[in-house]
Amino acid sequence: MLNLNRSAFNYYRHRQVLVTGAAGFLGSHLVDALLQSGANVIGVDNFITGRKQNLSWALKQPQFQLIEADAIQAPTTYLTETDTAQVDVVFHFASPASPPRYQQHPVETYLVNSFGTHQLLDWLKQFHPQARFIYASSSEVYGDPEVHPQPESYWGNVNPNGPRSCYDEGKRLGETICGVWQRDFQLDVRIARFFNTYGPRLDPDDGRVISNFIKQAKQQKPLTIYGEGSQTRSYCYVDDLIRAVLLFGALPDLKGKTLNLGNPQEYTVRETAKIIWQLINPNRKLKLQFKPFPKDDPQRRQPNIDLAKKLLDWQPEIDFKTGIKLTAEKFS
């Protein structure tokens, strides 16, 4: 069970919570934490990238209901009035998240982050105007940043028509929509910008750097580095991220807030490769293979989390080596 502030933990007890993208890496961890807190949870997923095995524990819990549906559609098409007689909190996590997956599904990606967000907020305004809405945005809204580390006030440096734009601009438009419904219709909307997150349930084939390195290290194959490996990332263990998300949804007076959620410790991709290889193959020499640097891939990525520290009284607790060990142990 997560080490969560007791008042925040109690906030979810007996509340009705809707989670889109419930079978995804982050969504499934969120569902488990909500169920542990005593919430009644409706999970929605179309399984484009989500995996039902991620919900193996949740599906055994009587207070969990899984609906296979596309969150691009109006909620009235997949939720009955009985299902949603009361909704207290919505976590909109539905979206492919790794570059290979969202580039494989570009239309679905920009639609679920834009029109899907609009549909949910329009539905809340009609039927549950007092509910809290937490939108899962991304550090990708900063693009290849020219400001480092990135504060929430930075507007970003995004290519609006590049190979990553279906996700980057989809998230940015989702934030725009959130702002409209908060300002013009007074809904309690909150935006969480997630930085690179890792942990158990990462899909080994999703193409993210941690997934690739652990998979290759376990197979004792050379680790693939794009470019020279000098680009940096900041990695947050999933338990730390979910703890922040639950706090963000539970605490009062955060309507309209946008928060960076991630671990500010920064590593080059080469450093990342070395750490993962040594943890998995301590007695073998690291081998690397290099490939061309992808278009629009960010050179540096590090969150400024001062605002999250202040408003949530939160900061990451799991160090990178510990997190990698926990991830590798359950990697499948």
Whether residue 167 lies in the annotated active site: yes
The token duo for 13 is 């007890």
As given in the structure block, the two tokens for residue 22 are 């419930």
Indicate the residue type of 106.
P
Q: Is the dihedral of CA 63, 67, 73, 77 positive or negative?
A: negative
Rounded Cα distance, 301 and 58, in Å: 33
DSSP codes, 271-328 = HHHHHHHHHH-TTS---EEEEPPPTT--S---B--HHHHHHH-----S-HHHHHHHHH
* Distance of alpha carbon 242 from alpha carbon 264, whole angstroms: 16
Give 91's contacts (C-beta < 8 A, 6+ positions apart): 17, 18, 19, 20, 27, 30, 134, 136, 245, 249
Name the active-site residue from 102, 110, 167, 267.
167
Comparing CA positions, the residue from 266, 310, 315, 306 lying closest to residue 152 is 306
Count how many residues are written for the chain.
Answer: 332
Place of tokens 């599906």: 59
Which residues is 134 bridged to in the sheet? 91, 190
For residue 149, whether the previous peptide bond is cis, meaning omega lies within 30 degrees of 0, is yes
Which residue type is seen at 216? Answer: Q
How far is it, in rounded angstroms, from Cα 110 to Cα 126?
Answer: 24
Cite the active site residues.
167
